[in-house]
Amino acid sequence: MECADAEQAGRVTIPSPPTLHCLSLPTPFSVGDVNVYLLESDGYGGGPTLLDTGPLWQPAETALRQGLAAMGYAVSDLDRIIISHPHADHCGLAGKLAAESSAQVLAHPSSRATLEHGSAGSRWATLFYRKWLTRSGVPAQVQEAIAQGRATTRQYAQSVRVDAEVNDGDRLRMGGSDWETMLVPGHSGGLICFYEPETGILLASDHLIADISSNPVVEPPPDGESGRPKRLLQYLQQLERVASLRPAVAYSGHGQPITNVHGLAKERIAFHYQRADQVWESLVERPATLFELAGKLFSVELPPIHLFLALSEVQGHLDMLEDAGRARCSTDGPICYWTAEPISN
């Protein structure tokens, strides 16, 4: 199955299960189109299930409605809306669609606060990111640009009530098949995939994308809790988990289907270990802040949201090094300077 635009939507199916359809919707983001999935027959007497929605953006909404219409459906026919993770390109339209259809909205508990209250923009999250960016040596004017970039992204999503939670290991009947829920934190703390063992199909969302490496995004801990979740370490663990399943095909949140899931997952793991080595070699030359490292590996002239993603990725590699005893953080006032630890023989 390849993802289709609105004109092709009615003709795109896969042999097993035959009720799974992919719609590719435009987004205002640099990642390009987002793939959402419709499972026509849920096997329990209700209407169709929509996995992800696209952003709250008129071109995306128009394409979704046209795609549904090409298959003989309207938004009002939707019975369930499942959100793979609370990023605007995947969940932005959920509130509007749920209100129009009275569909039940499902998500992982870790995504609930963001979906219902926009926690990414909460005071708790704002303070967390300010402290993290300051500790990382990011200048104040750059911090402000990143905050404005994140606020701009949030305008493409509105809050939505989560009616039911799905957890790792839960089985959902969709499209006449039983799908196993897999919690795969990394790109997002509440990211969920769905695996159908009989066909070997994995609905991978942004956990695995054919042409780009999914960025493990730095996120605050839940309100009131301490300790930043180390998303890249979690992501690597979940890549190993997915690789061990050896799915026949993975349908992703962006781009084309992946047929060599095991090979691509191992390739992604190898990339991050190589990049961690590159970060360590840079620290051997001299101690550096996270901001300095990101500027060396990427560019401090990146657009604000891309710089935020670059900082998140380098933070993940520093977490890998710290976890392995190869780097440590020394503070000078509020700023953390990373130094390389020698490799023990």
pTM of the shown model: 0.92
Query: Taking 80 as the threshold, does the pLDDT of residue 145 lie above it?
Result: yes
Query: Taking 90 as the threshold, does the pLDDT of residue 268 lie above it?
Result: yes
CA distance 54 to 35: 8
- Sketch out the chain's domains with CATH numbers: 6-117+158-268 (3.60.15.10), 123-151+277-340 (1.10.10)
Q: Residue holding tokens 């990642």?
A: 31
One-letter-per-residue 3-state SS of 87-141: CHHHHCCHHHHHHHHCCEEEECHHHHHHHHHCHHHCHHHHHHHHHHHHHCCCCHH
pLDDT band at residue 117 using 50, 70 and 90 as cut-offs: confident
pLDDT of residue 14: 41
pLDDT of residue 121: 56
pLDDT band at residue 235 using 50, 70 and 90 as cut-offs: very high
pLDDT of residue 224: 61
CA distance 175 to 15: 12
pLDDT band at residue 102 using 50, 70 and 90 as cut-offs: confident
pLDDT of residue 17: 66
Q: Looking at residues 4-18, what average pLDDT do you find?
A: 46
**Shortest CA distance to 271 belongs to which of 214, 309, 319, 325?**
214
* Tokens (6 digits) for 206: 């942004």
